[in-house]
Amino acid sequence: MEGLLQPTHLFFILLIVLILFGPGKLPELGKGLGKGIREFKDAMRGGMEGSSDKKEEKKEENKAEEEKKS
């Protein structure tokens, strides 16, 4: 088994985090990490939706220009 995230590696990483931050801080750190990931996902979705809105606006502008030319 080769790789960076083997079960024993994950165990030692979690153990080091527990030693550094203590058991009282872990729920707070997890909550902050989850909130950050959620905000990132929402921003990514918003960016994608925003780009589709811009495409629709460009289509409407092109139609308006074509109507003016006719």
Average pLDDT of the residues in 11-18: 90
Structure tokens at 35: 């909130």
List pLDDT tens digits, range 21-59: 888 888 898 899 999 999 999 999 887 766 556 666 777
Q: How far apart are the first and last CA of the chain?
A: 69
Spatial distance between the Cα atoms of 5 and 11, rounded to a whole number of angstroms: 10
Provide the whole-model pTM: 0.48
User: Domain locations in the chain?
Assistant: 26-70
